[in-house]
């Protein structure tokens, strides 16, 4: 019988982590696992001061893999950094941390289009926009999923009123897949639905990239017209890894009219251009504030900056979202509506 990476990971998941509760897979230790002609090579990322505690883990992992059918020999390396360019004298090709699709049925196989929602800068309300846009698209008859790709600061559970909910799993087409959480007419997934508490996620770049990919492939999304991916802020490893490995059909950039936010938005547009992902448009958030007492309007973060940038970049301007108390209140309460400006922008995106 041939080697199976999916079975290898399941077997490694039976090895306890010496530092935290759980196994080495759920702890995010596995940074790389490859097989060539029956030789399996893996990398476990560990804290440098705790190397001695992981020596038995390395031996157990090698023994476990060598007991599998199709495996002639196994080599496990403990590393505090990314995997080196060579293992056992064999030159690695490409990115050693690049996530590999598991065997068998793919959770994203029935998704028509994947759309990245990006900001390149934190604090511009991207997650709030992503949630409301997903709901607005669902209200217009589209089957929609939303993936929270911010591993370090997941906000989706709170935004849709599902804080504390833990995702369930089910056997589907000979694979155990994660079931998305359903709320407000959309299918949702976040690392917040997979972790035990609200503690911080302290993973390095390769593990973050792998987690994002796995939440796409190992979640039973079903048939979707669009899956929106709420990208983490920035233009670093997670963003580039997601763009290269998953290759969304397009990207939407969220910015405020402020010059500082627009500077980062331009960087985001350039990043997507370099990896050949079309930018479908720019959304201007917190565009204008209307005083509820006197009715006067105030452009707190500047006026029409995003519209001008969209024109200069040659990308569509999808619309403006006002700075309204109700949007903040609904977000805090977990009851986003997707109405108003979000409905207009959803039509433009379609």
pLDDT at res. 87: 36
- Domains of the chain plus CATH, in order, are 5-91 (3.30.300.130), 111-349 (3.40.50.300)
> What pLDDT sits at residue 95?
43
- Give the residue with greater pLDDT, 173 vs 347: 347
Encoded tokens for 187: 């299918």
pLDDT of residue 133: 98
178 neighbors 169 (Cβ within 8 angstroms) = yes
Report d(CA 9, CA 274) in Å as an integer.
33
% the chain with pLDDT above 90: 37
Residue 229 has pLDDT above 70, yes or no: yes
pLDDT (0 to 100) of residue 131: 97
* Closest-CA residue to 125 (of 309, 269, 320, 344): 320
Q: What is the mean pLDDT of the chain?
A: 82
C-alpha to C-alpha distance for 235 and 241, rounded to whole angstroms:
10
| Distance from C-alpha of 177 to C-alpha of 167, rounded to nearest angstrom | 10
State the average pLDDT over residues 172-180: 88
- Identify the residue with better confidence: 227 or 209: 227
pLDDT at 202 (0 to 100): 45
Kindly tell me if the per-residue pLDDT of 15 is higher than 80.
yes
Confidence of residue 228 (pLDDT cuts 50, 70, 90): very high
pLDDT at 175: 85
The pTM assigned to this predicted structure is 0.70
Query: What percentage of the chain carries pLDDT values higher than 70?
Result: 83
- Higher pLDDT: 158 or 94? It is 158
Q: How many C-beta neighbours within 10 Å does residue 26 have?
A: 15
Residue 240 has pLDDT above 70, yes or no: no
Residue 303 CA neighbour count, 13 Å, CB half: 4
- 100-154: pLDDT as tens digits: 677 788 889 999 999 999 886 677 889 999 999 999 999 999 999 999 988 777 8
pLDDT score of 213 more than 70: yes
Residue 287 confidence (pLDDT)? 87
Which has the higher per-residue pLDDT, 2 or 340?
340
Residue with tokens 């040659």: 314
272 has a pLDDT exceeding 60: yes
Angle between helices 259-274 and 305-313 (to 10 degrees): 30
The rounded distance, in Å, linking the Cα atoms of 20 and 90 is: 33
Looking at residue 90, its pLDDT comes to 40
Please, which pLDDT band fits residue 239 given cuts at 50, 70 and 90?
A: low
pLDDT of residue 94: 40
Could you tell me if 170 and 220 are in contact, meaning their C-beta atoms sit under 8 angstroms apart? yes
Say how many CA atoms lie within 13 Å of 58 toward its Cβ.
17
Give 29-63 pLDDT, tens digit per residue: 888 888 888 889 888 888 767 778 888 999 999 99
3-state SS string for the chain: CCCCHHHHHHHHCCCECCCCCCECCCCCCEEEEEEECCEEEEEEECCHHHHHHHHHHHHHHHHHHHCCCCCCEEEEEEECCCCCCEECCEECCCCCCCCCCCCCCCCCCCEEEEEEEECCCCCCCHHHHHHHHHHHHHHCCCCEEEEECCCCCCCHHHHCCCCCCCCCEEEECCEEEECCEEECCEEEEEHHHCCCCCCCCCCCHHHHHHHHHHHHHCECCCCEEEEEEECCCCCCHHHHHHHHHHCCCEEEEEECCCHHHHHHHHHHHHHHHHCCCCEEEEEECCCCEECCCCCCEECCCCCCHHHHHHHHHCCCEEEECCCCHHHHHHHHHCCCCCCCHHHHHHHHHC
Alpha carbon of 3 to those of 34, 68, 71, 101: distances in Å?
A: 11, 8, 6, 15
**pLDDT computed for residue 242 by the predictor:** 67
Tokens 């204008």 belong to residue: 288
pLDDT computed for residue 23 by the predictor = 87
Give the pLDDT of residue 237. 57
- On the question of pLDDT at 295 being above 60, the answer is yes
* 56-99 confidence digits (pLDDT tens): 999 999 999 999 988 998 988 887 644 333 333 443 344 444 55
Higher pLDDT, 186 or 20: 186
């Amino acid at each position: 019988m041939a080697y199976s990476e999916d079975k290898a990971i399941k077997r490694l998941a039976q090895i306890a982590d010496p530092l935290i509760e759980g196994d080495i897979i759920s702890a995010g230790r596995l940074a790389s696992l490859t097989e060539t002609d029956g030789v399996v090579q893996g990398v476990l990322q560990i804290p440098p001061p705790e190397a001695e505690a992981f020596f038995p883990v390395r031996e157990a992992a090698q023994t476990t893999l060598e007991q599998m059918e199709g495996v002639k020999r196994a080599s496990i390396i403990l590393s505090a950094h990314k995997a080196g360019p060579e293992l056992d004298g064999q030159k690695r090709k490409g990115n050693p941390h690049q996530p590999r699709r598991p065997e068998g049925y793919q959770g994203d196989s029935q998704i028509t289009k994947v759309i990245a929602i990006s900001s390149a800068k934190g604090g511009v309300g991207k997650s709030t926009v992503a949630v409301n846009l997903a709901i607005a698209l669902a209200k217009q008859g589209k089957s929609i999923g939303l993936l929270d790709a911010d591993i370090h600061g997941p906000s989706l559970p709170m935004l849709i009123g599902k804080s504390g909910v833990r995702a369930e799993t089910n056997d589907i087409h000979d694979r155990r897949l994660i079931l998305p959480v359903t709320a407000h007419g959309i299918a949702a997934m976040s690392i917040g639905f997979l972790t035990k508490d609200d503690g911080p996620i302290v993973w390095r770049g390769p593990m973050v990239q792998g987690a994002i990919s796995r939440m796409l492939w190992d979640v039973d999304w079903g048939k979707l017209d669009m899956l929106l991916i709420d990208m983490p802020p920035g233009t670093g490893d997670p963003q580039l890894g997601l763009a290269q490995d998953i290759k969304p059909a397009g990207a939407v950039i969220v910015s405020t009219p402020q010059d500082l936010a627009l500077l980062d938005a331009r960087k985001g547009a350039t990043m997507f251009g370099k990896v050949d992902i079309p930018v479908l448009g720019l959304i201007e958030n917190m565009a204008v504030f209307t005083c509820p007492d006197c009715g006067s309007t105030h452009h707190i973060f500047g006026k029409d900056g995003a519209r001008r940038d969209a024109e200069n970049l040659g990308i569509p301007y999808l619309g403006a979202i006002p700075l309204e108390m109700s949007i903040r209140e609904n977000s805090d309460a977990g009851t986003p509506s997707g109405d108003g400006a979000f409905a207009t922008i959803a039509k433009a995106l379609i």
